[in-house]
Amino acid sequence: MVEGTPTEALPVPDRRPGGRGLFHALGVPAFRVYVGGQLASTMAVWIQRIAQDWMVLELTGSVAMVGALVLFQFGPMLLFGMWGGVIVDRHATRRILFLTQSGALAVSLALAAFAFADGLSAIAIFAAVAVVGLLSPLDQPARQIYVSELVGPAQLPNAISLNSTTFQVGTMAGPALGGLLLPLGAQWAFLASGVLSIVALVALAAIPRAALLPRERAPRAKGQIAEALRYCRRKPAIFWTLLLLVFVSLVGLNWPVLLTGMADRVFFSGAAGYGLYTSMVGAGALLGALLSLRRQTVSLRSVYLATALFMTLKLASSFAPEPISFVVLLALAAAGSILMWTAANTLLQFSSNRRIRGRVMSLYLLIAVGGQAFGGLLLGWIVEHAGPRVGMAVSGGIPLAACLVIGGVLALRARR
């Protein structure tokens, strides 16, 4: 638990007990199976996302509509995120993940069927994205908590970093595969997403209940959301981390809106270029995830420094004169991004009681994911009217300014 000053470093439990190296959490058999399923699930999500984003752009001819798609995707997290955390704190995470993964599979197969029948429309895509969005308030916090049920406390930081590494591999491989399949037809991309979702379900079923560590569940009671908000406000490490993430999630993310604009209107590289740019974000984030495995302490300072690095490089990418320098800066910015997210995730999980952790992580996800719903519309409007380069500059500049201001305030408080 972190009860001290806002910049107090949080020691991470020994991440290499017995000399087992950077990947020691993979020594847990159930976690190895989960990692394989996570890789398939992440690839499925990104293949579908690449296909749906590009198809909406082709069907409507509007980057702003891609931004609106982000609202349908992440908006439910804003509306129902905290309620999802309450449900996760009360019920078995394994059962919740079966439900959400089955829903994702059904959506992928439905989109594939529409595309094979030449009946795919923007309305159908928006409806499918809305269904997946409605599952997110349950799915996302359940995934966060499930990792802590598969490994012990001493292995949790390493497991979080490995989980992030797996996600970044999927983020890199999924868009690349989606970019290869799109020229053949969107139906093949949606079908591939469905097949990978089946693999993820099989992996989840292969983990026996007996392999899960016991978790104290919250009883039914009134005011559990208010309880979580008060808890986060009282904990400096949680409060200041979440405050920074408000600025990051609002305008600092939304890669689809920015990268479709850069591919379509700046470098004129088309769907293949969009897939390449998204893959480079995944490659850079993978580098950041691997670097995070070496982290020995977690503090607010490490979160803020990683955020400053991320946003500085993203701001610089808006001035890149040609595609090569753009993708290099993009990859480096993504490395800073994942260093920020893994530090924030680890700090929040180790700073919160297990009985309330689902709600704490739901608030984290509400800010980190739900904030993109508004940010997608805002950045889509900026890209549409001022151009992709201005959108990229705003996306990096505003969170960087917030990071410097809030970081300065914390430094002054710590000095006093």
pLDDT, position 17 = 43
CATH code, 340: 1.20.1250.20
Span 101-121, average pLDDT: 91
Residue 6 lies in a domain: no
pLDDT, position 5 = 38
Residue 260, domain extent:
27-211+223-415
Distance between CA atoms of residues 204 and 214, nearest Å = 18
pLDDT at 218 over 80: no
Residue 21 lies in a domain: no
- C-beta of residue 70 within 8 angstroms of C-beta of residue 381: no
Residue count (the chain): 416
Give the closest residue to 81 by CA, choosing from 22, 138, 19, 40: 138
Q: What is the pLDDT of residues 7-26, one digit of tens each?
A: 444 444 433 343 356 777 88
Instruction: Report the first-to-last Cα separation within the chain, whole angstroms.
Output: 23
Helix (H, G, I), strand (E, B) or coil at 27: helix
pLDDT, position 75 = 78
Helix (H, G, I), strand (E, B) or coil at 297: strand
pLDDT, position 394 = 95
Residue partners of 158: CB distance under 8 A and separation at least 6: 15, 22, 23, 24, 25, 151, 293
Residue 368 gets which letter from DSSP?
A: I
Higher-pLDDT residue of 191, 214: 191
Residue 410 lies in a domain: yes
Residue 170 lies in a domain: yes
pLDDT, position 2 = 37
pLDDT, position 20 = 55
Q: Of the ranges 83-92, 158-167, 254-263, 320-329, which one carries the lowest mean pLDDT score?
A: 158-167
Distance between CA atoms of residues 121 and 59, nearest Å = 7
Residue 407 lies in a domain: yes
- Widest distance between CA atoms in the chain: 67
Residue 259 lies in a domain: yes
Distance between CA atoms of residues 70 and 78, nearest Å = 12
Q: What is the pLDDT of residues 30-42, one digit of tens each?
A: 999 999 999 999 9
Which pLDDT band, with edges at 50, 70 and 90, does 67 fall under?
A: confident
Distance between CA atoms of residues 369 and 253, nearest Å = 9
**10 φ, ψ to 5°?**
-105, 110
Tell me, rounded to whole angstroms, the distance of Cα 297 from its chain centroid. 22
Which pLDDT band, with edges at 50, 70 and 90, does 192 fall under?
A: very high
Q: Of the ranges 40-54, 128-142, 168-182, 201-215, which one carries the lowest mean pLDDT score?
A: 168-182
Here the tokens at position 415 are: 């000095």
Residue 80 lies in a domain: yes
Q: How many domains does the chain have?
A: 1
Q: What is the pLDDT of residues 244-285, one digit of tens each?
A: 999 999 899 888 889 988 888 898 888 788 888 887 887 888
Distance between CA atoms of residues 381 and 67, nearest Å = 8
- Which residues make beta-bridge pairs with 10? 298
Q: Of the ranges 158-167, 389-398, 401-410, which one carries the lowest mean pLDDT score?
A: 158-167
Residue 18 lies in a domain: no
Span 89-118, average pLDDT: 90
